[in-house]
Amino acid sequence: MKKSLLLSVVATGFIFAGGDIAPVAPVQPTVAPAACDFWGTLAARYEFKKDGEYNLGDKENNTWRTVIVLGVEKQFGYGFGFGAELGAQTDLGLDIADKGANGTSSELSQLYLTYKNGNTLIKAGRQALPKSLSPWAWSDRTAGLLDKAFEGVVVVNTDIKDTTLVGAWVARYAMDNKSIRLNGENNKGVFMLAVQNKSIANTTVTASIYYAPKPLKATSAWLSVESKAGNVDLGLQLAYAKIKGLNLKKTMGVAAYAGTNVNGLNARLTVAYIDDGASPLAMGTTSGFWGNSFGGAFGGDTMGAKQKIARVDVSYKIAGYGKVYGGVGVDKVTGGKTMVGGRVGYDFKVADVNAKIEYRYHKDNSSVKHHRIRVQGVYKF
């Protein structure tokens, strides 16, 4: 059974989750070290694919992933602590497409030191960045495995009531056993400042700004407002990006959603517009609106062309039997092919395993049709 996380990590998780969780009360450094907190994930995922000339069920195009993730966190005392995470995956010889390339691999996905004093937390090293506060460069997981980690220093402070302040310097990102500089050979990293405020009832306002010095000379800014009134959810997000060092035209985007949740039925309509700038709205990922909301089956990372996006998501919770869900999306690209996508799935729990069965369809801007049937199970301990 997963133990409660250390104070420093709990505080970070609550802040990064963007939920309505009160800041942790100030705790003075102590000389008594806490016991180690061990945790982990076991997962398996199989994906049947149909892409272009491949047919659904062709072994050469299917992918299998077995994942194990092990983590440890410990406080030394006097406010200091550390954390580490090791992730590994293997295809067990069942994945013909990836065999010999990505069949089996392992990586130190996180390794960091922490220092907690009052309402200030400092975290330095290889770590995951939260998409709620870092929409231009953030981390996600596939079947429990961290897709990308970042190397740098993050400082979080909650001294101001209902307000979270974040400052960060990130030099590299770690992915597929590689550590890659974010800002070219003359690396000075990327700097980020963010503020999140919840002083207005049921409303979260988040602003983030990034700056990368030479050679990129890149600036990115994000503003997000999300509010809930009864059974109605509303959201608005504005984005700006400009990479001057590469002579890329600035990109601006706006997205909004309206949703409702009644008796287990959740429905949301999201619309977005992105102008024809060539500067990406996310670093190394697809469109950053609400954390890759338009990636995968619902559009892509088309830059240099105007995009008009509309998406509808619906889900229904069946008491004691999990959740069924589905969605459709359209991404109209000026001067290119319209991208369309859809998915339908069933999310449920068997014993302590979170299971999912999903069908996903996507026609990209080259009119290539992609079909996916995903079967996944994740066990956390």
What are the structural domains, with CATH classification, of the chain?
Answer: 1-205 (no CATH), 217-381 (2.40.160.10)
Strand 63-77 versus strand 37-51 pairing type: antiparallel
302: tokens are 């088309």
| Better-predicted residue by pLDDT, 304 or 207 | 207
Instruction: Looking at the chain, list the stretches that DSSP marks H as alpha helix, in order from N- to C-terminal side.
Output: 7-17
CA distances to 206, 214, 270, 279, 298 from 243, in Å:
23, 10, 27, 6, 26
* Contacting residues for 193 by C-beta, under 8 A, at least 6 apart: 166, 167, 168, 208, 209
**What 3-state DSSP class applies to 8?**
helix
**What 3-state DSSP class applies to 16?**
helix
Region 91-116: what's the mean pLDDT?
75
**What 3-state DSSP class applies to 113?**
strand
* Contacting residues for 30 by C-beta, under 8 A, at least 6 apart: 77, 78, 79
- Prediction pTM value: 0.81
pLDDT per residue over 190-227, tens digit each? Answer: 999 999 999 999 999 999 999 988 888 889 999 999 99
* Contacting residues for 160 by C-beta, under 8 A, at least 6 apart: none
In a 10 Å sphere around its CB, with 0-12 CB exposed, 13-18 middle and 19+ buried, how is residue 318 labelled?
Answer: exposed
Would you list the DSSP string of 212-242? E-TTT-EEEEEEEEEEEETTEEEEEEEEEEE
Q: Which of 31, 106, 29 is nearest to 66 (CA)?
A: 106
Region 238-249: what's the mean pLDDT?
90
Region 110-126: what's the mean pLDDT?
96
- Quote the DSSP letter at residue 2: P
CA distances to 23, 317, 355 from 15, in Å:
8, 27, 27
Question: Predicted confidence band at 147 (pLDDT cuts at 50, 70, 90)?
Answer: confident
Q: Is the pLDDT of residue 111 over 90?
A: yes
Q: Is the pLDDT of residue 19 over 60?
A: no
Q: Is the pLDDT of residue 25 over 60?
A: no
| C-beta separation of 221 from 288 below 8 A | no
Q: Which of 51, 145, 72, 58 is nearest to 104 (CA)?
A: 145
Region 116-120: what's the mean pLDDT?
96
Average pLDDT taken over every residue of the chain: 81
Q: What is the pLDDT of residue 26?
A: 37
Region 173-189: what's the mean pLDDT?
74
Q: Is the pLDDT of residue 27 over 60?
A: no
Would you list the DSSP string of 123-156? EEEEE---TTT-TTS---EETTEES-EEEEEEEE
Whether residue 26 has a cis bond before it, omega within 30° of 0: no
Q: What is the pLDDT of residue 2?
A: 40
Q: Is the pLDDT of residue 20 over 50?
A: no
Q: Is the pLDDT of residue 108 over 80?
A: yes
Q: What is the pLDDT of residue 1?
A: 40
Q: What is the pLDDT of residue 284?
A: 59
Question: Predicted confidence band at 140 (pLDDT cuts at 50, 70, 90)?
Answer: confident
CA distances to 81, 114, 132, 149 from 121, in Å:
11, 7, 18, 19
Region 347-360: what's the mean pLDDT?
94
Percent of the chain with pLDDT over 70: 78
CA distances to 156, 164, 238, 302, 305 from 116, in Å:
10, 15, 33, 42, 45
Q: What is the pLDDT of residue 294?
A: 46
Q: What is the pLDDT of residue 7?
A: 28
| Better-predicted residue by pLDDT, 24 or 181 | 181
pLDDT per residue over 263-303, tens digit each? Answer: 999 999 998 888 888 888 776 555 566 644 444 444 445 56
Q: Is the pLDDT of residue 122 over 60?
A: yes
Strongest mean pLDDT among 51-65, 129-143, 196-210, 338-352: 196-210
Percent of the chain with pLDDT over 90: 44
Q: What is the pLDDT of residue 287?
A: 57
CA 255, CA 260: separation in Å to the nearest integer?
A: 17
